[in-house]
Amino acid sequence: MACSIHAFARRREPQYREQVVEQAGLNADELEQLRRWGAGLQQDSRLEVSAAGRAIVMLIEEIERLHVLVWDHRLYPPDEDDLPVTLAQRLRHRLRPQSEPTD
């Protein structure tokens, strides 16, 4: 039985649903424990283990950076008038070069 590529593609279309993120994530002590563990792994003489340690530390730093951004948006939400409406507008807004501060 022959199957067209279009029929296969239709069956494979992903189902997009809004995901709810649980509030119970890693606490500050757990993040610090992971940071210490990653730092310890970085000292290992095996390259793969050392690289894994560096990756863990980088991910912890990224989590902390995102945490700051989330709290910034919660404390200082953007004005509704400032938000681009369409996807094209949002992409243009994000991709445009930031203007240089003037003195």
Q: 37: closest CA among 15, 60, 20?
A: 60
- Compare 26 and 15 and report the one with higher pLDDT: 26
> What tokens were used for 78?
């953007």
| pLDDT tens per residue, range 51-96 | 999 999 999 999 999 888 888 888 877 766 666 667 777 777 777 7
pTM over 0.85: no
